[in-house]
Structure 1
Amino acid sequence: MLNTLSKIIYNLSMAVPLFCTFAITWYIKKDDYIIPLSIIGIGALISVLFIIMFIYGKKNMSSMPIRVSDISPNDGWLVGYVISYLLPFGNLAFEDFNIIVCAVIAIILLCLLPFFNDNPPNLLLFIVGYHFYQISAENGISGYLLLSKRKLRRKQDIKVVGQMFDYLLLDRGK
């Protein structure tokens, strides 16, 4: 249960930059501050939940040794995130905006989140200095997303990790 909740909070926190972009755009185009403040409040709540979850997970996860067979940087995904998700929100046509359709889509996504095995890099973690790496373990499992404050160059640099949840690992090296 906690694993599923952590995964949902992690994935929801990736929408916080979208919320901020949406709120700013709404304010500029509609000259109304009630909706933007509500959206910013929701984003702040999600961010606080994410920070609590991340700090708790970081302190309480057990460390495990890992033998990495392949490592590749995955920070570039964030550039695509900004270009493909944040910039279009700046030109959103609010006259055609339908809150009910957006709410239904959001509910469907929330229902599907626990079943995703893929964890994209999180912009909030990038802002606080984490780097993202795609790694494969020698046990044959690939597709792990490794979070690390270190700039890793070689697979031998990774010896010990903690598992946040499925396919999301945190580097425990020095």
Structure 2
Amino acid sequence: MSRIAKLLLVFTSLSPATGALAIIEFQAGRPVTALVLIGSALLLIAICYLIKIYPEKYGERRLLDVAAVKSTDKEALAFIIAYLVPILTGKIPNVSEPQYWAITAYVFAVIGLTVYHSNAFHFNPVLAAFGYHFYEVTADNGMTYLLIARHVVRVQTPEVWVTKLSDYVYLEVKSDEHSSGNIKDE
């Protein structure tokens, strides 16, 4: 599930931008296009929820031994600015024009490829709405990972049960009898 989860995390992190586009469309008197955009955003939110649920239920649980932790929630500002760009232009674009879609597709592709290849998943507004926080953690093995967790992670609580979403992204889960070992064992 690693590459699929990674790609879906990219798409779902961009879903609020479709909400901004929907607002533009409503303001321009194009409610049908706005509803399609809202439907797309809701679909991406549902996919994000499934990304969260599937690994929690079926993923292999491991113990992540945390040596150092740094919150990355503050990096949300960059995403918020990206969502506001379409609104701040001052001009209401016509979504029915092909050049609008070409530019929008290009911008989303550049952002998506950058996030995908740089492992820059330091913020996903949909997961944040579900109550998750984002941490850059250094494991006892010296590797740095992104940890998506519901609770506050501190070095004073150095062990966190996780499941792997992609090579460098872990999701906090509850421990159970199906756990397989420590991440430092890899």
Query: What band does the TM-score fall into relative to the shorter chain?
Result: 0.7 to 0.9
Aligned residue in 1 for 2:119: 117
Q: Output the TM-score relative to the length of structure 1.
A: 0.83
Taking a change above 3 Å as real, the CA distance of residues 138 and 64 of structure 1, as seen in their structure-2 partners, is same
Equivalent positions of 1:9-158 (< 5 A) are: 9-28=8-27, 30-82=28-80, 84-92=81-89, 93-95=91-93, 98-107=100-109, 115-142=117-144, 144-158=145-159
After TM superposition, what 4+ stretches of structure 1 lie above 6 angstroms from structure 2?
Answer: none
Distance 2:83 2:109 in 1: 21
From the superposition, tell whether residues 88 and 105 of structure 1 become closer, same or farther in structure 2 (CA, over 3 Å). Answer: closer
Matches within 5 A, 1:3-14: 3-14=2-13
Secondary structure in 1 matching 2:16: helix
Matched residues in 2 for 1:113 and 1:71: separation?
Answer: 21
State the alpha-carbon separation in 2 of the partners of residues 34 and 64 from structure 1.
46
User: 1:135 Cα deviation (Å)?
Assistant: 0.6
CA shift, 1:80, in A, is 3.4
Instruction: Summarize deviations over 1:41-75 as a string: whole Å, max 9, x none.
Output: 11122222222232112111111122222101111
In structure 2, the CA distance between the partners of 1:95 and 1:162, relative to structure 1 (3 Å rule), is: closer
Shift of 1:87: 2.4
What is the percent sequence identity of the aligned residues? 20
Give the alignment's Cα RMSD to 1 decimal.
Answer: 2.4
Q: In the TM superposition, what is the alpha-carbon distance from 1:109 to its structure 2 partner?
A: 5.8
Return 5+ residue gaps in structure 1 as ranges.
none
CA distance in 1, matches of 2:112, 2:132: 25
Aligned residues: 170
Runs of 5+ unmatched residues, structure 2: 176-186
Per the alignment, do residues 148 and 50 of structure 1 end up closer, same or farther by CA in structure 2, a change over 3 Å counting?
same
Q: Kindly provide the amino acid, as one letter, of the partner of residue 35 in structure 2.
A: L
Task: Using CA pairs under 8 Å that are at least 6 residues apart, name the structure with larger relative contact order, 1 or 2.
Answer: 2
Between the aligned partners of 2:136 and 2:11, the Cα distance in structure 1 is 21
Structure 1 residues 146-155 or 52-61, which shifts more? Answer: 146-155
User: Which amino acid is 1:86 matched to?
Assistant: Y
Task: Find the counterpart in structure 2 of residue 162 from structure 1.
Answer: 163
**What TM-score do the two structures reach when normalised by structure 2?**
0.78
Structure 1's 36 and 115: CA in aligned 2 closer, same or farther, altered over 3 A? same
SS class of match (2:73): coil
Secondary structure in 2 matching 1:25: helix
Range with greater deviation from structure 2 (90-99 or 156-165)? 90-99
Any conservation in 2 of the 1:68–1:138 contact (CA below 8 Å)? yes
CA distance in 1, matches of 2:168, 2:13: 17
